[in-house]
Every structure is written in structure tokens, then in C-alpha cells.
Amino acid sequence: MSNEEESEIPVRVISENGTDNSEKESNEKAVSLEILKNSLEEEKQKSQDLENKLKHAMADFQNLSKKTQSEIESGVNNKISQLML
């Protein structure tokens, strides 16, 4: 049988201190996964905060726009009434 035809067999490697490397890798992956989950939650919270700020800014702009339009209409009506007198 040549090397090309041989299939790989998973091998558990035990380090010098007697621990199983697959357990160590599993623990490292679990820690990495937990870090990623925490990071994701932080980013979701930041995203929600920014979305809320955007909504408030849009509402403020709409209110300002309505107020400005109202003031313009009031000014125009005032000038029209002054011209009629």
C-alpha cells in the first residue's frame, strides 16, 4: 500500500504532563466560543443603542422641520394680513 492510498486515523496525543491534547483543545475552543458570544452580545447592545440614538435624532429632525414649516406659514400669513391693511 502506498502513502497516497493510506487514510488518516485520528490519534490522541498525550502531552508530557499526562493531559490529553484533545481535552485541552476542547477547553480552548469553549473559552474562545464564550469570548465570541460575549463579544457578539456587546456588539448587539451597541447596535441597539445606536439605532435608538438614530431614531431620536430622526424624530428631533421631524419636529424641527414641522416647527420651521409652521413658523414660515405663520410669517407668510402675518405678512399677507399686513399687506391687506
SS3 category, 8: coil
Q: Is the pLDDT of residue 50 over 90?
A: yes
Q: Is the pLDDT of residue 71 over 60?
A: yes
pLDDT score for 25:
86
Q: Look over the chain and give the mean of its residue pLDDT values, rounded to a whole number.
A: 86
In this prediction, residues 17-41 reach a mean pLDDT of 85
Higher pLDDT, 83 or 37: 37
pLDDT score for 8:
73
**Four-point Cα dihedral 15, 21, 27, 32, nearest 10:** 110
